[in-house]
Amino acid sequence: MGTINKNSDREWIKHRYVVASMCIVFVFSVLLLRLVYLQMIRGEEYRRLSMTNCVRLKSIKSSRGLIYDRNRILLVDNRPAFDLTIVLEDAKPLKQTLDHLAELTGDSCEDLTAIIEKEGGAAFYKPLVLKRDITRDLLAAIEAHQFDLPGIHIDIEPSRNYIHKKTAAHLIGYLGEINKDELDSGKFPNVRSGDSIGRYGVEKSFEADLQGKRGGHQLEVDVNGRVIKILKTVEPVSGNDLVMTIDLPLQQKAEGLLGENDGAVVALDPSNGDVLVMASSPSFDQNDFIGGISSKKWQVLRDDPGRPMNNKAIQAEYPPASTYKIITALAGLEEKVIDRNSTFFCPGFYKFGNRRYHCWSKYGHGTINVVDAIAQSCDVFFYQTGEKLGVDALAKYAQGSGLGRLTGIRLAHERPGLIPTSAWKKQRFKEPWQAGETLSISIGQGFNLVTPLQMAVFISAVGNNGTLYRPRLVKSVQDAKGQVIREIEPEITGGLPASKKNLAIVRQGLLEVVHGNRGTARQIRLPDVQIAGKTGTAQVFSRKAGEKFDNKKLKRTLQDHAWFVCYAPAQDPKIAIAVIIEHGEHGSSAAAPVAQELIHAYFGDPEVPTAVVEEDPAHVE
């Protein structure tokens, strides 16, 4: 019995040994076959790969998001740009390669060498850009001589294209190359050295939305760096698109109306704060900044006395002139120093102390109430109203109406303007406030400073019965397929410090500016749309009280600025506008016609119903 068991054990061990041996033989056979395959069949290919380091990674730049106007008219897209690059590892012999390349590009070999040395050799295995956005003629020449140019490549990159040159340039903005400090900040995770980021306008404000994510190729290249095949690809992700609030045809109309004049036009939707127009003149071509603006072009822009690189809608600060009388009227009514029936006599001047403060009308306006004073822009009425109020009361209502502070628009470099107070002057000049200075600020002169955007926001609020909105530039952010990622809702920032009753009185005066028999802007009436507005003429240098000048004899740069602010239709406003024409002299003749043409273009259809003249608000409760 024991013998049988021993034989069985030996048989079992022998069987296991045979099976194990077969497995070992099989494994070694597979390894041998694999070795034969690698050495005999693929050996030459792998030998070539190991000798030439020809598996490389190449980054693929993503396309930046597109920008549309409110009606999805394309404003900014991307075009293919051809960049001339060199991989130093492959460009051997380097001197000979650069000599051949210099003959084609028209550069000297020394210039090309200087570009390489500027990079400090950091890009030995990576493409180094020698020239960006080369011409198609040079592209054809490079391609025709590619076998004489080892290591020289043409990379196709998406480049920004601003379709409508100089249109809304200050609003849309432009791009510029990222610098080392910005790269090191960690704020731009999808950007690398040599890439561009938004430098101005919505290109800067919405950089995170517009910037996409890079992709990449794993490439097999030959000994000269030429691509043999693509081994693997990770596709780039395009940036998101912006749908802006501006109306392109209206924007172009405003810019055309400004023409050669320096100044700005802002148009808003009073119901939500949408920026329909933001024009600043003179303008600039954003396409000049693609790939870096030349020193010569930058010098021209910098030396231009018209300051084309300033967005005058938000950066230029002007005395509000007679447009500020709206504030003085509201403050006087709210503080009860005047009412609808209060009158002052205007003989053409107001004597204060031993000085005469003149009205713009040499012969005066006679006995006049607040509605007529707004319509005829009587300085004497507002001198006396301001005197009764005092500087600090005026400042309270001006600041409560959004002046003297930022509007909150999503654009960099907005200026706050200035609304003076007695405390401000004491701190700034170490001098007390003088009563005569109150008369000047009551009519929008003196220390008062505002931006065109602030005045557009303010007149919008007057038109919509008191609601202040943050100006909105972008309605929505969408992906490349047009799916909405994020809606940007209108935002209320406050309300005018005035009752509906007093607003109605002021609105009646603004309507009479255009539709009254003696209104200062009566020449801009339209047959189908009623306009309510206010003219203004802002002095650009200090004058002694009562001092008169013949503006026609002054240098152009010393002539008055022309203002006009308005909304239309008067009873149910759909558009509010602020116009400033630098050195335009008179708001009624220089600025008001611009607003008139813009309103006519906006409504266009002659079937727009005529608004009914507002009821005299004397009895409005």
Q: Annotated catalytic sites, by residue? A: 322
Q: List the Cα angle 233/236/237 in 5-degree steps.
A: 145
Q: Give CA separation, 484 vs 241, 354, 455, 478, in Å.
A: 9, 66, 32, 4
DSSP 272: T
Q: Give CA separation, 582 vs 265, 314, 445, in Å.
A: 11, 15, 15
What value does the CA radius of gyration of the chain take, rounded to a whole number of Å? Answer: 36
Q: Which residue has the tokens 């380091």?
A: 53
User: How many angstroms separate the CA atoms of 498 and 465, rounded?
Assistant: 9
The torsion defined by the Cα of 75, 76, 79 and 84, in degrees rounded to 10, comes to 140
**Helices (H), ranges, 240-294:** 248-258
φ and ψ of 252, to 5 deg:
-65, -35
User: How many angstroms separate the CA atoms of 457 and 452, rounded?
Assistant: 9
Q: How many residues does the chain have?
A: 621
**Best CA proximity match to 264, nearest among 541, 420, 454:** 454
Establish whether the linkage from the previous residue to 617 is cis, with ω within 30° of 0: no
φ and ψ of 20, to 5 deg:
-65, -40
Task: Judge contact between 324 and 538, C-beta under 8 A.
Answer: no
The two structure tokens encoding residue 143: 């391609």
**Best CA proximity match to 601, nearest among 135, 254, 319, 263:** 254
Mode of pairing for the β-strands spanning 241-244 and 74-86: unpaired
User: How many angstroms separate the CA atoms of 517 and 520, rounded?
Assistant: 9
Task: Judge contact between 60 and 214, C-beta under 8 A.
Answer: yes
> What does the buried/exposed string (b/e) look like for 248-286 if buried means 16 or more CB atoms within 10 Å of the residue's CB?
bebbbbbbebbeebbbbbbbbbbbbbbbbbbbbbbbbbb
Beta strand residue intervals within 61-162, DSSP E? 67-68, 74-86, 128-131, 152-162
